Amino acid sequence: MLRALAACPPAFALAGVAGLAACGGSSGARVGVGAGTGNGPVAVTDRRVKVSGTPDVSLQVRDWQRPGTTGPTIVLLPGLGGNARCFDSLAPALASRSRVLAISRRGYGLSDKPVPVKTATQHYEVDTLTSDLKAVLDELGLLRVVLGGHSIAGNELTRFAGRYPERVRGLVYLDTTFDYTLNGDTGGEELPLNRRLDEPRPTARDSRSLQAAIAFNRRKTKNWWPPLEANLLDAVDLRIDGSVRMKTSEAIDTAVDTAAHSFSPDYKAVRAPALVVTALPADNRDLFPWLELPLDAKTEKDAADYLRIFRRARISDSNLLVAALNTPHRLTLDNCGHTDFYMEREAEVLRAIQFMTWA
């Protein structure tokens, strides 16, 4: 069965190259300037915002602003394994009209990483993550925002909108799943079992240097974008010998994944207008970018069957999400992959978000 229809790849797979520098604190934030239009360039400020005292947790927040913008503030949340840097292209594009923030949830990027001890999901339950989000908005004085979330971040959008409806002007679901506790609708078919279709796992050789890590991730990604490299750089530590290791432990990865797949959203509590964006793979490059040609006959058939079943399940799941949110606003993008569709198809995603009339 297809359990995690839109689950992000592991943290090792995700992230502009300048992302290795540490963020400053809120009183000494790092500021950069990017391209912009209208009244001036877009400036990005990197800061850390404290969200918890027991344990002490501060989050990495990137904040894009351009003078004279009048649109609503937009807050972007990454999928599993991602951090704030994965929005390094979409966020400044949105900042032509709005202030835009991207947040690395606890456990990832340059955010603090408390280790679960008492339970497998301790410190990473969906309610904890939504409380972190509220703490960031409170600290920055943001009363009402548009929330955008990729993949498992859809849980945080739905829960936050239910808990704090007065703080939400709108929601953007970026290829998220209707309910991560449910199996996908495969039409009664079994997914083919073929190890060549499995996403590659990193070996010691892939972490011997930053260049090796980048090469490994390029191999299993349809397109290698600067935001993906930036995300990767914020996700790894460079050792003295030049090798790299992930900043996020396996225990934390498991905690976030387990908590996300144990949470069933209550869409009836959502009142804000919502936009649903769905990415549909159309070929092997979209779904299995690591496959090397030529394919043997069995793998070619298995890949085609898997793609057909997967598309059916994703379309069905997207329909459930649209119906649950009771929204007429949806964008379905064909021939793209889950990890990088909002980079590859940025112009279309940007237009869809800017087309919305938020509450």
Domain ranges across the chain: 11-355
pLDDT of 35:
53
Name the percent of the chain lying above pLDDT 90.
88
3-state secondary structure of 345: coil
Asked if 9 and 232 touch (Cβ cutoff 8 Å), the reply is: no
Distances (CA, A) of 241 to 12, 69, 207, 208, 211: 19, 46, 11, 9, 13
Is the C-alpha dihedral spanning 70, 129, 25, 230 positive or negative?
Answer: negative
pLDDT of 2:
53
pLDDT of 40:
78
pLDDT of 38:
52
Kindly state the tokens that stand for 240.
Answer: 């003295």
| Adjacent-strand bridge partners of 42 | 34
With respect to CATH, is domain 11-355 assigned 3.30.70.260?
no
pLDDT of 39:
66
CA distance 82 to 74: 18
pLDDT of 14:
32
Residues of the chain with pLDDT under 50: 1, 3-28, 37
Query: 153-163 vs 126-139: helix axis angle to the nearest 10?
Result: 70
CA dihedral 107, 110, 112, 115 (to 10 degrees): 40
pLDDT of 17:
27
Among 27, 150, 182, 161, which residue's Cα sits nearest to residue 83?
150
State pLDDT tens for residues 147-204.
Answer: 999 999 999 999 999 999 999 999 999 999 999 999 999 999 999 999 999 999 999 9
0.85 exceeded by the pTM?
A: yes
Asked if 252 and 116 touch (Cβ cutoff 8 Å), the reply is: yes
- The neighbour count for residue 269, using CB atoms within 10 Å, is 12
3-state secondary structure of 201: coil
